[in-house]
């Protein structure tokens, strides 16, 4: 039995002895003292060394979640491209690249990070609604795999630049299939009135207009949104894409693949999983004449990360009890921006009575809150763990209120490395001039 399997078995035995079962991300577990560990490393030892706030990532869960996607697409000629926007750490991009993943990017900055991480341009898909001409030219000169096209203007710009460079650009038309993702309106991207994609009718018009001599049309794509729990919606999008692909083939284009994007949900309360197996099973009822491209981000990295924060103090206003912590909306903006709720616990289990508390940060905004009605037992000086912080935490972080960005730690095979140092005040002002 592998060491990792033994560790998980021990964890299960500990939990069963306590007559309870708590779901934690793979690699994160509580020992016999109720202390949170990851791959054999005590979390409190990391906080003692690096301070808080602190992001910690577990390669064990990242690998497990990635392989779930990989194993499911093997049967349908599939490709996996990691959505870099979820977490743009060079080390995390490199980790997925070494597992065989390509990348889905939405800026030239993400392109440079991917190249630095060792992902070759021929495995990079360039998505996004606002590519400027310099970004397009840089991507073309480096022979990226393809552009996901969002408008005729963008297509024309790519055609002109490619012609100047005497290069043929690979094109995938991003369709707006007018499907609601049934998630938060800020992350629904497949409705007819949103800024992303083009209609199926416009896709056919553009294909006819530009023809096989001007563009190398290799695929069709759609990304209807994030945090999708109903996989039937993705199947509906696929069905529309396949119908469009068949029409494009009839026009003489050699369509290689269908890209249904990402968006598969995770459960931030850590009570259930949304496996890609279910999605692939549903998609297999369609023909296999086109390869399948998936662009997971949140679903393979979110639960692999935690945010550790220190309780600075406790106060009561009216009927509300507040745990004031040193992490804020600038570190993890999802609760403030989307009213998202992450599972939050004390880093060390306690037998003390748990109270209903609001967990709030130090930023000068009422919106700087991780949520209310958390059952937590904590005192000033204790540490809390915010689960499922591996996606859209660090990558959406800011310096609002002139706050420093925290360190980030990657744990792999019972060892750890700093993948981003704690920011200093010198870092903040080095680009400013008086």
**Catalytically active residues, by annotation:** 364
How distant, in Å, are the alpha carbons of 87, 209, 345, 370 from that of 413?
Answer: 21, 54, 25, 31
**Cβ atoms within 10 Å of 364's Cβ, excluding its own:** 9
Report the alpha-carbon distance of residue 115 to residue 402 in Å, rounded: 31
End-to-end Cα spacing for the chain: 62
Q: Find out whether 225 and 181 touch, Cβ atoms under 8 Å.
A: yes
What is the secondary structure of 131-159 as a DSSP string?
A: --HHHHHHHHHTT-SEEEE--HHHHHHHH
- H or E segment to which residue 409 belongs: strand 407-412
Report the alpha-carbon distance of residue 314 to residue 323 in Å, rounded: 5
Report the alpha-carbon distance of residue 216 to residue 252 in Å, rounded: 11
C-alpha triplet 391, 78, 246: angle, nearest 5°: 115
């Amino acid at each position: 039995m592998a060491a990792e399997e033994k560790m998980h078995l021990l964890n299960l035995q500990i939990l069963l002895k306590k007559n309870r079962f708590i779901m934690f991300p793979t690699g994160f577990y509580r020992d016999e003292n109720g202390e949170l560990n990851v791959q054999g490393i005590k979390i409190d030892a990391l906080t003692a060394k690096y301070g808080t706030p602190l992001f910690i990532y577990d390669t064990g869960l990242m690998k497990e979640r990635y392989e779930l996607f990989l194993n499911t697409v093997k049967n349908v000629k599939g490709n996996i491209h990691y959505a870099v926007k979820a977490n743009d750490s060079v080390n995390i991009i490199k980790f997925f690249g070494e597992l065989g993943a390509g990348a889905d990017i939405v800026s030239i900055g993400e392109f440079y990070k991917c190249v630095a991480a060792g992902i070759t341009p021929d495995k990079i898909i360039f998505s996004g609604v606002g590519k400027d001409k310099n970004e397009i030219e840089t991507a073309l000169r480096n022979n990226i795999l393809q552009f996901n096209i969002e408008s005729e203007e963008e297509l024309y710009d790519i055609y002109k630049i490619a012609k100047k460079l005497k290069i043929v650009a690979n094109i995938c038309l991003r369709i707006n299939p007018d499907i609601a993702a049934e998630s938060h309106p800020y992350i629904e991207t497949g409705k007819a009135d949103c800024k992303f994609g083009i209609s199926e009718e416009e896709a056919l018009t553009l294909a006819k207009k530009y023809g096989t001599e001007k563009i190398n049309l290799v695929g069709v794509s759609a990304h209807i949104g994030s945090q999708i729990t109903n996989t039937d919606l993705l199947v509906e999008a696929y069905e529309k894409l396949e119908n469009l692909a068949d029409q494009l083939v009839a026009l003489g284009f050699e369509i290689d693949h269908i890209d249904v994007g990402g968006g598969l949900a995770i459960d931030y309360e850590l009570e259930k999983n949304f496996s890609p197996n279910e999605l692939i099973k549903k998609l297999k009822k369609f023909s296999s004449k086109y390869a399948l491209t998936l662009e997971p981000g949140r679903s393979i990295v979110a639960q692999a990360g935690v945010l550790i924060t220190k309780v600075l103090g406790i106060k009561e206003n009216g009927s509300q009890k507040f745990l004031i912590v040193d992490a804020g909306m600038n570190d993890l903006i999802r609760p403030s921006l989307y009213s998202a709720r992450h599972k939050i616990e004390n880093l060390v289990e306690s037998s003390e009575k748990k109270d209903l508390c609001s967990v709030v940060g130090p930023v000068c905004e009422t919106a700087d809150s991780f949520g209310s009605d958390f059952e937590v037992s904590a005192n000033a000086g204790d540490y809390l763990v915010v689960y499922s912080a591996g996606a859209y935490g660090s990558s959406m972080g800011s310096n609002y209120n002139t706050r420093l960005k925290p360190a980030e730690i990657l744990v792999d095979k019972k060892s750890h490395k700093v993948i981003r140092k704690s920011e200093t005040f010198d870092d903040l002002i080095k680009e400013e001039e008086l």
